[in-house]
């Protein structure tokens, strides 16, 4: 394959070539190989400078690059589809891993390409550089992170201070809604060992053969939710605001009945174990508090949105944000992206960062809130921009399967202009309950939830209709797949998209120009009178326009303002380590290190240990790396460093050695013999080896402006770091003699 000037992709393609040495090439492989060749040639064209500048991309260039990237990704996915992770030979595993690595690189580049418009005047090297961004750092000024919300809505408010202003949003840590069996296993692992009573409860869910009683298990989450609700009612009734585990009377009064519900009629012995001592009682209280929340999530998941169990929930906000961008309606939903934060204890948490929408929802009002002006002056809703936003929001929500666009998830942005309040815009937030396995037929039968079906929409902007019509299943797959959505979820999203496309093509919904929104009777009468309702559901126009009720809403005078964790943002871009030279004097030492391991492996082999494909791949990779080190050491006797070409070849062999060793160590996790243990230890050691270099610092840091911070948080590799503020290191003066001496010692 030709060399591409995209360094990371070039390395991955080289790894694939090494893994394919002497290996047969199927038709799928050959088609993929030809397309990767074509992609490499395309990339190289846009890396050719004219003077000092790379060529600026026009609209045709962008479309060509998107197409060839998409074709290459599709053929890679066709090749890896159904192959699994276990191959008969080591090189089969190597080839599969290499193609999967290429897929990941292509997908990141495509995600960056999706956000590019022809008027952005960008170059392909800049796009690829942005796709390689590794870290966005947030240095907090507070010791502890303030947290708001509960259960699925638990969020960490973050305010990023930059020179241009403040950037506010919320971080939600990754979580899933557990399936029946996983819920049971989680609870058993977390609580069964805390008391004999809890162990007895969990034992009652397992039959004599050790299998889970699925019929009883299916009611567990709902029972826990009911128990927790009953407990809340007891508390709210004023009998005892907080239950004490040490209070024998109250414990027996409030919990004996709950044990009966959870365990069954033969509960007396188990309750005796639960009520044995203060620790046992507290363990049961903790169990109910934790398990009821999990049960509530499971209940909601199963009965309303039909989101598959054990799938990431916060990621659904990212999916909605990405589809909004590709449809050109990003102004109607809060932007959300994958990030990682590091807490004050240095623990990294992965999750989603969602921007704060400016304004207020109708469920959380303050005294004299400007939103009350809408109930006094309904004409504020007549702005054509607002009508277009509502139209866009209901289209986006349907395609994404959002059944939760209730009053608390719509933000109204009120601004005072020339002394009068105006509604500047609306925005959807908290898009957790999206991407369920739903279609028009299943949604039309529901009487719960907040959503609009295509037949109820009545109007759609022409620009939005055109974007929907152009949307393809391939695009949906590209922008959603890295969020770990199942094929079932992506297929359902595509099915809803097709329904929306059919509705537009069959003229079941009026496609109108932006200017025509002004002529809709100059008010909401047309839209609201035609906004069909079904059960308790309302059309988006009906729901958003129905704000006369604000007059009767009492403001919450005790509502606290959200406290943001203040910090400053910076961008860290990883610098490729292979820019550093490889010194010839280090090659012999590396060769001897690998030779010792190879001799140990060879001696181990003689003792009769089986050498399967994984071992052969690792062993052959080791021998190839040793041979290259020996050859280079002899070739470069008169020179101090390797050429870039030879250094790149050596890097490729080391990558292959690392991949093969890591794969061997992973697949031999339970080494049962001393020989197996030794092999695994050697594999782990080799999986850490790199070509001998003296690297510079791993990256550089620069401050971000507000706009840069807003645009940079755009890939699933971004990181928001909330560790304590980084100390400033002042440079130390070192004289020339000291530097020379350090260099001599360093290279000995």
pLDDT in tens, 198-211: 888 888 888 888 78
Residue 190 has pLDDT above 90, yes or no: no
Q: Give the model's pLDDT for residue 652.
A: 82
571-600 pLDDT, tens per residue?
A: 444 434 455 678 888 888 888 888 888 888
Tell me what the pLDDT averaged over the chain comes to.
Answer: 75
Tokens (6 digits) for 4: 């591409």
Under DSSP, is residue 596 helix (H, G, I), strand (E, B) or coil?
Answer: helix
Q: Give the model's pLDDT for residue 394.
A: 93
Tokens (6 digits) for 459: 């109007």
Q: Cβ of 56: how many Cβ atoms within 10 Å?
A: 15
End-to-end CA distance of the chain: 39
Query: Phi and psi (nearest 5°) for 189?
Result: -65, -35
Q: Give the model's pLDDT for residue 192.
A: 87
Domain limits, the chain: 180-305, 336-466+487-552, 582-696
CA 62, CA 25: separation in Å to the nearest integer?
A: 32
* Whether pTM exceeds 0.75: no
Residue 268 has pLDDT above 70, yes or no: yes
Q: Which residues partner with 416 through β-bridges?
A: 421
Q: Give the model's pLDDT for residue 723.
A: 41
704-741 pLDDT, tens per residue?
A: 444 444 454 443 334 444 443 333 333 333 333 433 44
Percent of the chain past pLDDT 70, that is, above it, reads 68
Confirm if 371 and 360 have CB atoms less than 8 A apart.
Answer: yes
Where does residue 601 rank: exposed (0-12), middle (13-18), buried (19+ CB within 10 A)? buried
Q: Give the model's pLDDT for residue 724.
A: 36
Q: Give the model's pLDDT for residue 540.
A: 84
Tokens (6 digits) for 294: 């999990």
- Burial state string for 376-415 with b = 16 or more CB within 10 A and e = fewer than 16: eeeebbbbeebbbbbbbbbbbbbbbbbbbbbeebbbbbbe
Choice among 61-75, 189-203, 523-537 with the minimum mean pLDDT: 523-537
Residue 232 has pLDDT above 60, yes or no: no
The larger pLDDT score, comparing residue 122 to residue 2, is at 122
Residue 489 has pLDDT above 90, yes or no: yes
- Burial state string for 487-522 with b = 16 or more CB within 10 A and e = fewer than 16: eebbbbbbbbbebbbebbeeeebebbeeeebeebee
Percent of the chain past pLDDT 90, that is, above it, reads 14
Give me the half-sphere count of Cα atoms (radius 13 Å) on the Cβ side of residue 658.
12
**CA dist 219 to 180, 298, 646, Å?**
9, 11, 64
Residue 95 has pLDDT above 90, yes or no: no
* For range 92-111, the mean pLDDT: 83
Q: Give the model's pLDDT for residue 286.
A: 79
Choice among 153-167, 173-187, 716-730 with the minimum mean pLDDT: 716-730
CA-based nearest residue to 352, from 152, 482, 172, 564: 172
Where does residue 148 rank: exposed (0-12), middle (13-18), buried (19+ CB within 10 A)? middle
């Amino acid at each position: 394959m030709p060399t591409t000037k995209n360094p990371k992709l070039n390395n991955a393609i080289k790894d694939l070539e090494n893994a394919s040495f002497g290996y047969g090439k199927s038709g799928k492989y050959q088609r993929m190989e030809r397309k990767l060749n074509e992609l490499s040639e395309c990339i190289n064209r846009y890396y050719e400078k004219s003077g000092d500048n790379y060529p600026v991309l026009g609209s045709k260039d962008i479309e060509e690059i998107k197409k060839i990237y998409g074709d290459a990704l599709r053929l890679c996915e066709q090749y890896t589809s159904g192959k699994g992770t276990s191959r008969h030979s080591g090189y089969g595993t190597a080839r599969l891993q290499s193609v999967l690595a290429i897929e990941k690189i292509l997908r990141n580049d495509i995600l960056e390409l999706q956000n590019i418009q022809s008027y952005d005047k960008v170059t392909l090297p800049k796009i690829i550089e942005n796709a390689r961004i590794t870290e966005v750092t947030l240095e907090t000024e507070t010791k502890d992170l303030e947290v708001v919300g509960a259960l699925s809505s638990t969020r960490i408010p973050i305010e990023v201070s930059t020179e241009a202003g403040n950037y506010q949003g919320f971080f939600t840590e990754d979580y899933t809604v557990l399936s029946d069996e996983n819920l049971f296993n989680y609870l058993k692992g977390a609580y069964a060992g805390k008391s004999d009573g809890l162990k007895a409860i969990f034992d009652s869910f397992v039959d004599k053969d050790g299998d889970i009683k699925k019929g009883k298990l299916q009611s567990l989450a709902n029972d826990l939710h009911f128990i927790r609700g009953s407990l809340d009612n007891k508390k709210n009734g004023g009998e005892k605001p907080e239950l004490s585990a040490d209070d024998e009377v109250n414990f027996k009064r409030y919990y004996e009945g709950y044990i009966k519900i959870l365990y069954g009629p033969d509960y007396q012995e188990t309750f005796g174990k639960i009520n044995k001592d203060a620790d046992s009682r507290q363990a049961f209280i903790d169990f109910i508090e934790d398990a009821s929340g999990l049960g509530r999530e499971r209940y909601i998941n199963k009965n309303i949105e039909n989101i598959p169990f054990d799938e990431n929930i916060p990621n659904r906000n990212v999916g909605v944000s990405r589809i909004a961008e590709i449809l050109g309606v990003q102004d109607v939903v809060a932007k959300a992206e994958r990030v990682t934060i590091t807490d004050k204890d240095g623990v990294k948490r992965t999750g989603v960062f969602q921007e704060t929408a400016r304004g207020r929802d109708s469920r959380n009002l303050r005294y004299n809130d400007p939103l009350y002006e809408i109930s006094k002056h309904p004409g504020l809703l007549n702005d054509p921009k607002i009508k277009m936003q509502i139209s866009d929001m209901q289209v986006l929500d349907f395609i994404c399967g959002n059944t939760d666009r209730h009053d608390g998830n719509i933000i109204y942005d009120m601004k005072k202009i020339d002394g009068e309040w105006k509604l500047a815009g609306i925005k959807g937030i908290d898009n957790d309950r999206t991407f369920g396995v739903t279609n028009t037929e299943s949604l039309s039968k529901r009487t719960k939830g907040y959503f609009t079906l295509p037949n109820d929409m009545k109007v759609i902007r022409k620009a939005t209709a055109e974007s929907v019509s152009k949307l393809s299943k391939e695009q949906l797959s590209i922008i959603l797949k890295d969020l770990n959505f199942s094929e079932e979820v992506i297929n359902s999203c595509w099915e809803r998209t097709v329904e929306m496309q059919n509705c537009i093509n069959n003229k079941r919904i009026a496609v109108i120009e932006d200017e025509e929104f002004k002529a809709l009777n100059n008010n909401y009468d047309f839209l609201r009178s035609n906004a069909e309702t079904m059960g308790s559901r309302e059309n988006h126009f009906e729901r958003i326009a129905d704000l006369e009720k604000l007059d009767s809403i009492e403001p919450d005078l005790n509502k606290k303002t959200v406290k943001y964790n203040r910090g400053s943002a910076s961008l860290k871009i990883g610098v490729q380590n292979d820019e550093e030279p490889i010194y010839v004097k280090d090659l012999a030492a590396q060769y001897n290190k690998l030779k010792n391991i190879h001799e140990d492996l060879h001696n181990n082999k003689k003792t009769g240990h089986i050498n399967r494909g994984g071992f052969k791949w690792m062993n052959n990779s080791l021998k190839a790396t040793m041979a290259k080190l020996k050859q280079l050491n002899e070739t470069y006797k008169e020179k101090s460093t390797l050429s870039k070409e030879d250094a790149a070849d050596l890097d490729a062999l080391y990558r292959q050695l690392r991949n093969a060793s890591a794969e061997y160590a992973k697949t031999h996790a339970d080494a049962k013999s001393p020989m197996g243990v030794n092999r695994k230890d050697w594999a782990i050691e080799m999986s850490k080896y790199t070509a001998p270099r003296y690297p510079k610092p791993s990256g550089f840091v620069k401050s971000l402006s507000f706009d840069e911070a807003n645009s940079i948080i755009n890939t699933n590799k971004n990181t928001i770091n909330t560790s304590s503020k980084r100390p400033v290191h002042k440079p130390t003066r070192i004289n020339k003699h000291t530097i020379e001496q350090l260099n001599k010692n360093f290279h000995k």
